[in-house]
Every structure is written in C-alpha cells, then in structure tokens.
Amino acid sequence: MKTIQFREAICEAMSEEMRRDESVYLMGEEVAEYNGAYKASKGMLDEFGAKRVIDTPIAELGFAGIAIGSTMTGNRPIVEYMTFNFSLVGIDQIINNAAKIRQMSGGQFKCPIVFRGPTASAGQLAATHSQAFESWFANTPGLKVIVPSNPYDAKGLLKSAIRDDDPVIFMESEQMYGDKGEVPDGEYVLPIGVAEIKRQGTDVTIVSFGKIIKEAYKAADELEKEGISCEIIDLRTVRPMDRNAILESVKKTNRLVVLEEAWPFGNVATEITYLVQSEAFDYLDAPVVKINTADTPAPYSPVLLEEWLPNSNDVVKAVKKVMYK
C-alpha cells in the first residue's frame, strides 16, 4: 500500500486506463497545459500527447457532444468539467444523447463515456458554484452515478467507470483533492453499485456518500462516548444503488439516518427513505430522519454557509432523535 492524495488517485486511474486502452482519452478545460484545474491530470499531457489529453474552449455543450459522438466510432472519452455546475450547459447532451443512445439505436451503439469533476459546495464559491446534482443525474435512466469519498474508492471506481460500456457520471469534490489515503501498489478495480460498511455498529444506521460522510464519522466518534453504536454505510454509487446493503443494515439496527449534501426536496435521501419504508417498515423502531442542506441557494457569507451545510452536530441530534434520547 502507498499513501497518495485524492487527485493523485484520479490521475493514476486515468493514466493506467489510457496505457491499457488506446481508445481512452481525456478532454476538458485546462486538463492539458495547466495539468488540470485541480492538478488531477498532472503529467498526462507529457505522457500521452495532445491528441489524447485535449484542452477545450469554455464550451461544455460543444465538447460534451464531440465526446459523445466519438463513442460511436470506438472511443472511450473522459470528459472533465471544472465543476459539475458547468455541466448544466451541456446537460442536454448528457441526458438526451449519452443516456439514450443505446436504447434509441436499438442496441446498435453503446456510449462508453465518463463525465467527471467536482460536485457540491467547496467553501465560499456562492450559489451558482455550490450545487449537488447527484439526484438530477441519478433520476435519468441510462446513466450511472458514482460519488467516492476517499482515494482508494476513487481510483478503483474510476477505473471501473472507464471500462464500463455505459455513460457514467463520476463526481468528486474540490475539498477532497488534497485528502490522503492508502491505495494498493498494484492493479485493482472496484465494482460499480456496491456500497461499503465503513464502520460497524448496532444501534443506528447512517447512510451517506461523498465528502459529507466525514461529518458522519465525527458524529459517530462523539456518540460512541455516550454508548451509542453507529453503523456507517458509504453508498459510493448512487445509481445503481446497493439496496441490499441498506436494508440489511436497517434490519440489524432498526433505525436509519441519511446524510446528504443536497437540497431537501426529491433527493437521494428521499429515495432511500422510500426504499426502507416499503421493504423494511416492520423493522423500524423510529421514523427515518434525513439531513440535508437548507432549502435555499448556497449563501456566500461564511457564517450563513456554516448554517446551510449539514454538520456532525446535526448528525448527533438526528441519531439521538431516532434513539429517543
């Protein structure tokens, strides 16, 4: 094992797959000459050249369409958005083309493409640069949505995403690129659609994903001091969702808290809540509690932003609520 940063795990995954398969290429804003806006493609231009690591204009609709079209001639592109907020400019290409090519061509064309970049908030970046769109993309049949929370998961899942024959939305975080974690020295991939129990527990299940799961870890440490044992599930993949992992944990703990950095209406937590009440209702000893951001655009003020974002104190309160403490 070696300890590397999240951005290095992303770079290693892309580089290894590009060495393995010449049809894989990377395109996006500042991915080449600048080594990536967050240095996640550092050194790749030097190794693979300008035909496979391509700087684009600020034209997400255009380069998303070019990349999708290239899958129909045998390529496997990786499209980097500087932030998924910018993907809204190209969302027609993603949802109306990438997600539908296989079905609308009667299976004649597949669309092996990865759209990757940071999601959700990253400090004082204001309302238009602090949005979580996981549930938007996960609502679309034909798309797979992956949101890793650490370097190990990021590398293994990104390699699987690049090899997948369907379009994959791979969502990271500006605030995780410097995070360090252990990654195996050799080749490995992780299966898409399999959650992981990051912490075993007996009293309550906490389901989360992405960078906000760190608040669940903090809360679990605090709650353990009070004799409350939390089981934490990292979804890793939002779609397809590992339904069995959630249900089996709830059947064991009988209580569920869902932590998600997203607006509270119609999100991933809502889907999980419906799943549990429909398939594990008789196992519940308390209503499900979901924790989300405030139902407003993200504020710029640091004081308001702190209130807007879920935190470990919110998780502690939610766990105590389902524990009736």
Q: 298: Cβ–Cβ under 8 A, 6 or more apart, which residues?
A: 121, 125, 126, 127, 130, 131, 305, 308
Tokens linked to 280: 């594990």
Catalytic-residue membership of 222: no
End-to-end C-alpha distance for the chain, whole angstroms: 42
C-alpha pair distances (Å), 84 with each of 131, 173, 267: 8, 10, 17
For residue 233, which of 241, 225, 224 has the smallest C-alpha distance? 241
Strands 196-199 and 230-234, by their bridges, are: antiparallel
What DSSP character marks residue 4?
Answer: E
What DSSP assignment string belongs to 126-147?
Answer: -GGG----HHHHHTSTT-EEE-
| CA distance linking residue 131 with residue 261, whole number of Å | 9
Q: Where are the beta strands (DSSP E) in the chain?
A: 2-5, 24-28, 53-55, 76-80, 114-118, 144-146, 168-172, 180-183, 196-199, 204-208, 230-234, 237-239, 256-259, 289-291
Give residue 210's identity as a one-letter amino acid code.
G
For residue 90, CA distances in Å to 29, 68, 137, 138, 169 come to 13, 11, 12, 16, 13
CA distances from 55 to 64, 116, 316 (A): 13, 15, 45
Phi, psi values for residue 80, rounded to 5°? -100, 125
Would you call 129 a catalytic residue per the annotation?
A: yes
Query: Rounded CA gap, 51 and 315, in Å?
Result: 47
Of the candidates 29, 129, 134, 261, the residue annotated as catalytic is 129
Catalytic-labelled residue, pool 8, 17, 29, 60: 60
Q: Which residues are catalytic?
A: 60, 129
